[in-house]
Amino acid sequence: MNSCTILKLALAGTLASPAVLAQECNSHIRHSAPDDRYVVNAAKGTVLDKQTGLMWKRCIEGLSGANCGGSVTYLDWGGALSQAAASAFASYKDWRLPNRKELESLVEVACVFPAINATVFPHDPAVSRVSVWASSPYASQANLAWFVGFDDGWSDYDVRVSTRYAVRLVRGGQ
């Protein structure tokens, strides 16, 4: 059992309401996504990851503003792919759904609720349990695709057509 698992188990027993969780970080684990890894353009609502060269939309779809408030847009996998391809956010027309590896690069291994740098990618505490689609299909079953759960940073796969997850846009790379 690693430190993140221990932290998650400890938090599960102590936090009363999953809808209002505050980010918890383990100070004994080196941060994988520190603030200085990113360049935030608050005016445009974008984040440049200096480590990967990818540009991210700071808020997940449906959220906006400096603190990424609002209501999350949940889509099935096909809808998520379409929404990303149709976006012209911040005057860029090459937004896309990130692949699994790209999305996993945002996971902050020292934190949960959410497992992402909450300074760079702010969130409303009510959405700290959001799972986000990746563009990567699950190789052995055509009806499944990958997602990342940013409550704890774990990746898994789910049914493409009947499951709805959040969407985070990226550009560049591949």
pLDDT of residue 13: 41
What's the count of helices (H) and strands (E) in the chain, helices before strands? 3, 11
Dig out the tokens for 33 from the structure.
Answer: 């996504």
Q: Which residues in the chain land under pLDDT 70?
A: 1-21, 124-126, 173-174
Question: What does the domain layout of the chain look like in residue ranges?
Answer: 3-171
- What does the pLDDT read at residue 42? 94
pLDDT at 9: 41
* Total-model pTM: 0.85
Question: How much is the pLDDT for 170?
Answer: 98
Which residue, chain included where needed, has tokens 């998650």? 8
Task: Quote the percentage of the chain above a pLDDT of 90.
Answer: 72
